[in-house]
Amino acid sequence: MSLFKKKISEPTLRRLPVYLNLLRRIQQEGRPTVSAPEIAKQVNQDASQVIKDLSVTGIKGKTRVGYHLPELIEALEQFLGFNRTNEAFLVGTGPMGKALVFLQKKQLQGLKIVAAFDLRPVKSGNSIGHINIHDFKYLEELIPKLNIRIAVLTVPSELAQKTTDSLVGFGIRAIWNLSSAILDVPDHVIVQNTPLVDDISVLLHKLRNHDSE
C-alpha cells in the first residue's frame, strides 16, 4: 500500500490472532460477513478498536454490512505469517517442549517444529510424536543445512543463557523463550519471552482484590 511500513503496535498484534480465531469460528457457521461491533462484543472490546486493528490488513469493510469473512481471514493469515511454514527447532525436550509439539497444530499456528534437540545425550530413534529428537551437537550443522531461523527454547532456566549463546553462534535469528531466564542476545537476534509466572501474578492479584471488595 505504501513504501513505508506502517508501524503496528504490539497490543494490536496480540489481538489479531484472537480475531482470526473468532472469524474462523463464525465462518464455519456458514456466514459470509461480520461487522466490527459484532466482533467487538464477542471479544469484549471497543468497536473502534476492532476497526482500527483490522485496518492493518488493508481490507476494506462495507458500510451497513461489515467485512467479507473469507477475504478478511485470508488477509489476517497473510499479515500474521500464518500461511507460510515458519520452520523452527525445538531446544529442550522436557514436558513443556513435548506439550508445544503436540499443541502446534491447534494452538501454535504459524510455527512448524521440524526437529527437537536435547542437551542430554539422546538415544537414537527418540521422538515426540512424529518429531525426531537429536543430540544438541548436531544443531550446529543442521541450522544452516535446513535454513532454520527460529528456536523454541524450553530448557531449564539455569541452562538457558548458555544454550542461547550457542544458538546465536550457530546463526539462529529468533528465540521463543519459555524459560524464566532473561536472555542476553546481540541486536540482530529477536527474543520473545513467554513467562508463564506473570500470568499467575496477575491472576492471584486480581483474585485478592476481588475478594476484598
Partner DNA sequence: TAGATTGTTAATCGATTAACAATC
Interface characters, 23-62, with DNA (x: CB under 7 A): ------------xxxx------xxxxx-xx-xx----xxx
Nearest-5° angle of CA 163, CA 172, CA 193? Answer: 65
Cell numbers standing for residue 203: 491472576
Cα torsion through 105, 15, 85, 166, rounded to 10: -100
Rounded-to-integer distance, Cα 163 and Cα 92, Å: 10
Of the candidate spans 11-19, 117-125, 140-148, 161-169, the one that interacts with a second copy by CB under 8 A turns out to be 11-19
User: Between residues 64 and 211, which has the closer beta carbon with respect to a second copy?
Assistant: 211
* DSSP H/E element including 177: strand 174-177
Binding partner of residue 203 among DNA, a second copy, none, CB cut-off 5 to 8 Å per kind: a second copy
Residue 81 region by backbone torsions, left for phi larger than 0, else alpha for psi between -120 and 50, else beta: left
- By CB under 7 A, is residue 78 in contact with DNA? no
Rounded-to-integer distance, Cα 114 and Cα 138, Å: 14
- By CB under 8 A, is residue 157 in contact with a second copy? yes
- By CB under 8 A, is residue 209 in contact with a second copy? yes
CB 62 → a second copy: shortest distance, Å?
Answer: 25
- By CB under 8 A, is residue 27 in contact with a second copy? no
Residue 119 contacts residue 92 (beta carbons within 8 Å): yes
- By CB under 8 A, is residue 126 in contact with a second copy? no
Cell numbers standing for residue 124: 537414537
Interface characters, 49-78, with a second copy (x: CB under 8 A): ------------------------------
Of the candidate spans 47-55, 117-125, 133-141, 189-197, the one that interacts with a second copy by CB under 8 A turns out to be 189-197
User: Between residues 69 and 111, which has the closer beta carbon with respect to a second copy?
Assistant: 111
Q: At what angle do helices 10-28 and 47-54 cross, to 10 degrees?
A: 100
- Within positions 96 to 115, which residues make up the interface with a second copy, using CB under 8 A? 96, 98-103, 106-111
